[in-house]
Amino acid sequence: MFNTTAWNRIRYGLYAPVYDLVAERAFRGARRMALGQVTWQPGMRVLLVGAGTGLDLPWLPRDVELHATDLSPAMVRRLGQRAEALGRDVQAEIMDAERLDYPDDHFDVVVMHLILAVMPDPARGLAEARRVLKPDGQLCVMDKFQADDRPAGLARRGLNALTSAIATDITRQARPLLEAADFVIEQDTPVMMGSLFRALLARPA
């Protein structure tokens, strides 16, 4: 399979200069709806995993402590520039979502927007999110998913060999992934293109 950490670091470095042109307007509403499902409290410690250029920042409360990671140095640089322009204090780090360099039970909220469908091993990424999330924390996911009750057919799996190399996996299922990672889903809301893109709010089981 061509979807590897090394390839993702290269391709998202290449995508960084034009990423906002593609993703900012298209996913604005979906991001806002996903983050709107979180029960926010002042002073929360929040981690944005696979934060890209920081397109979630405008929709986050200002009275929380923000941390952000991305695999691509170019994305992290652009995130820093966006944070400065918005007047947000964000601790941004270059980091692999499947190997988070944070202690256990550290964050009140972990946000994973448009990353589960691109990482090589989403189960490992969710296990890391579960590890760094407090027992009463919240996981906010927004991504494209295959229907939970209908595994991808042969044609879709064949097409996925191409899409996963250049953009995204189109065969992953939300509920099986989150439940296998010991999360309980509290909200599951279609946010874009019918039910293709969904926003899920989950807590540790």
* Residue 94: predicted pLDDT: 97
Two tokens, residue 87? 């007047």
Query: Using 50, 70 and 90 to split pLDDT, how confident is the model at 169?
Result: confident
pLDDT digits (tens, 9 = 90+) for 73-116: 999 999 999 999 999 999 999 999 999 999 999 999 999 999 99
The number of folded domains in the chain is 1
pLDDT at site 152? 64
Q: Which residues form the domain of 137?
A: 5-204
Q: What is the CATH number of the domain that holds 109?
A: 3.40.50.150
The CA-based diameter of the chain, rounded to the nearest angstrom, is: 48
What torsion do the CA atoms of 67, 144, 160, 158 make, to the nearest 10 degrees? 160
Give the tens place of pLDDT for each residue, 2-17.
Answer: 567 777 777 777 777 8
